[in-house]
Chain A
Amino acid sequence: MIIYFQFSFLLILFFLLLSTGHAQTSQQNKTYEAQQLIDVSKNSILQIRVIENTTNKKSSIGSGFYISSNGLIATNYHVVASVVQAPDSYHLEYLDYEGNSGSIELVDVDVVHDLAIVTTKNKSESKKPLDLAEIDAQQGEKLFAFGNPHDLGLTVVEGTNNGLLEKARNEKIHYTGSLNAGMSGGPTVNGNGEVVGINVSTAGNQISFLVPVKFLSELKNKAENEIQNPDKNFHERIEKQLFDDQQEFFSNLLKGTWPKEKIGELYLPAEINNQIKCWGNANNDEDRLIDKSVINCSTEDRIFISREFSTGQVHYSYSNVVNRDLTTIRFYEMYQAGLTPRRPRNSVSEEDVTNFKCHSDFLLIIDRSWRAHSCVRRYKKYPSLFDLVFDLTMIGEDSRGIGVVLLVSGIDQDMSQKLIARFVQEMTWQP
């Protein structure tokens, strides 16, 4: 018996020692991977600085990395947007791991995917580029994000690939890792040191996003041509990218079948594609004089053009008001009190857009009268694109009213008319 217990004790002790030893080895392996990647990659990763010309001081910083031996550097568009929008006021510089700095200039941009390619003016300063992965990262794969958060120097953040976002207008990798400001434009690499994504944004709480490397590969190919025949008209390129992107987005939207939502007795478009999410609300106060319910649907993504200007958003909302116990005149006073002119959801400044131009009329839709307003404003630098407001208010019913509002930023004339036509066509009445 004693011998049995002694043997069991020795066996348990043996397994305990074994597992402790294994844990120590695993810990040592994990640290070694990140360290090795830093050693391999550090000279290829840069801090990108936007310098304001008057003060000659940093206006903003981001990260970037070499992608070719002839000095092409990848970063985010939003890191270098100031130089694109106000080239006379800003210029670009880099700072590398060894503390060397130098001038860089813009080569090409992809605003839709928030990418940009810059290059060193002095090609001899160029360092060994990072390899771009040819196979997508697997969901659950461990990844390492590099960058310069808050101007603290080169930092690595370990995280996990959670696959592509299902409901994004433009493909993004969902990365579980804490990206911080300043890391934008930096590379996220796999265990082999190949770039699988470019840091682009974070939602906090270890929820971050990467631009898939395939978009960088496409831009790199274009940039190789661009560097031979440089064309510095970035606004034309941006306009074409935005135009093509909205053409593709709205063409796909209009091709599909639109599921419907019931508002009162009216059926209206609901979540018309997987990038649009809808939320509802109603007034439930006991002493309410009218019943009012609201549904809001919108895309979540936007396309960054500059700090004051964004585009690429779609929003539509419905409101249903029903009279409880008021005279018709009082009901209409309250119905009218809830109506205000609406504006698109994107941010704009005076330099970016014109004033709105509107047309109002009465429309007959599904045998009911509606007051219709259509307003557009043009983009000053990208004149083929508009922001659209389409506002419908149902009139002529004693005890109920319905409002439909469609707000779109970054759409061309042809698409906007097709979108309005489709919206109206989808409205059906079923008592």
Chain B
Amino acid sequence: MAAVIVEELNRLGHVINRHKISQYPTTIGRAFNNDVILEDPYVSPTHVTLVDSEEGCVDLKDNSLNGIVYCDKTITGSSITLKSGEEIVLGRTRLRFYAVDHQVSETRPIKYSIGFVKKWTQPVPLVLCLLVFVFMLLMDVMLSAKQELSFEKGLAELLTPLVFVVIWASVWTFVGRLIKHQSLFWVHVLIMVIFLMVSNVSGWLVGVLEFNLVSEPILDGFQICLLGLLIIWLIANHLRYSTSLFKLTRNLSASAFAISIAGIYYLNTMVSDDKIQFVPSYSTTIKAPYAKIRNDSNIETYLKDIESIYDIKLSDNN
């Protein structure tokens, strides 16, 4: 009598439960007197009965109202023989069957130290990281406040990024629990704190680099790319252990998600902007004199350069 492993899978192919069946007959259903109990309202009280098979891994007999889906066909009231690695669907529940001697995939080498993540999400290093982050925010507030500094105003300025970090971590923790059934809130806090610190430092650096006409759009582009890469990495990481999706599918899905957010933002900008801009759009950003100013033009050269702006075509788009 060969034992068989029954895996319960979610939609993305993540294994959420495993049962080892050594005795036959074994029943699977929603009723509490089954050997394997499923929490699915579309599963009948005694949905299938497993018996030992001579040809395949296991034989199944269907006893249900909704039947079982096997190889995209619904079977009701009859028996099927499953080979090792094949799947069926009972109600909304996916089950996969393996013989105990089924060959497992090769062990994957760990490319990073799991200890690193665990170390930094311990209370002491996490609090230190948060303190550094708060200090950076305070420095930012003190250096750039446009009004009289006071405790209340400083607190208000600090609260916005901190609340953003909490909301971000909460959302990704929820997504992680949905997809992988596990996720750590403090890991996501750490990720966003590091992202904001990198963003802040890059903003300060640009403030002292040469003041020219491209440093601001480069900084904006850098921050957007960084955020995009972060989202792609988070999604791909959540899907990493999915057995239903190929690696290429996972990476493309993650990239498509990040790009679609950018696309929605851009579309919204296009739709909400007036056809005609009654106020010209030019950047009014200036830098403190720590940054070297790019070489200046003289008025003669400038007047020559601006000749091109008078060449405005009278078309439908204008």
Contacts and interface: CB of A to CB of B under 8 A. Distances in A.
Contacts, number: 142
Nearest to B295: A362
A358 B286 contact: no
Given A327-B143, A343-B280, A421-B303, A395 B294 contact: no
Nearest to A333: B144
How many A residues are at the interface, by size bracket?
Answer: 35 or more
Contacts of B298: 363-364
Contacts of A222: none
A355 B286 contact: no
Interface stretch (A129-137, A157-165, A203-211, A368-376): A368-376
Interface in A99-147: none
A29 B289 CA distance: 78
A327 to B, nearest CB: 7
A339 B285 CA distance: 8
Contact of A356 (B207, B275, B280, B306): B280
A391 interface: yes
Contacts of B294: 362
B248 interface: no
A154 to B, nearest CB: 41
Nearest to A343: B279
A353 interface: yes
Interface stretch (A170-178, A254-262, A378-386): A378-386
Interface of B is mostly: loop
Contacts of B160: none
Contacts of B107: none
Nearest to B281: A341
B283 A389 contact: no
A342 B280 CA distance: 7
A332 B293 CA distance: 15
Interface string A381-403: 00100100101010111100000
B282 A391 contact: yes
Contacts of A340: 284
A386 B306 CA distance: 14
Contacts of B146: 330, 333-334, 337
Interface in B55-108: none
Contacts of B285: 336
Contacts of A348: 278
A94 B290 CA distance: 70
Interface residues of B, number: 46
A424 interface: yes
B147 interface: yes
B305 A361 contact: yes
A318 interface: no
A360 interface: yes
A328 interface: yes
A359 interface: yes
A12 interface: no
A329 interface: yes
A192 interface: no
Given A335-B286, A362-B294, A398-B289, A350 B305 contact: no
Interface stretch (B20-28, B110-118, B264-272, B308-316): B308-316
B291 to A, nearest CB: 9
A330 B281 contact: no
Given A350-B275, A356-B277, A395 B286 contact: yes
A369 B296 CA distance: 7
Interface in B131-154: 142-148
Most buried by A among B142, B275, B276: B276
B211 to A, nearest CB: 7
B286 A330 contact: no
B144 A330 contact: yes
A412 to B, nearest CB: 9
Contacts of B282: 341, 358, 360, 373, 375, 391
Given A289-B147, A350-B276, 11 more contacts: A330-B146, A341-B280, A341-B284, A350-B274, A354-B318, A355-B276, A358-B282, A360-B283, A378-B310, A389-B280, A417-B306
6 contacts: A355-B277, A360-B213, A360-B283, A363-B298, A363-B299, A375-B280
Interface of B: 142-148, 207, 211-213, 274-290, 293-299, 302-303, 305-310, 312, 314, 318
Query: What 10 pairs between A and B have smallest CB-CB spacing?
Result: A364-B296, A356-B280, A375-B280, A339-B284, A332-B288, A354-B318, A357-B309, A378-B312, A333-B144, A373-B282
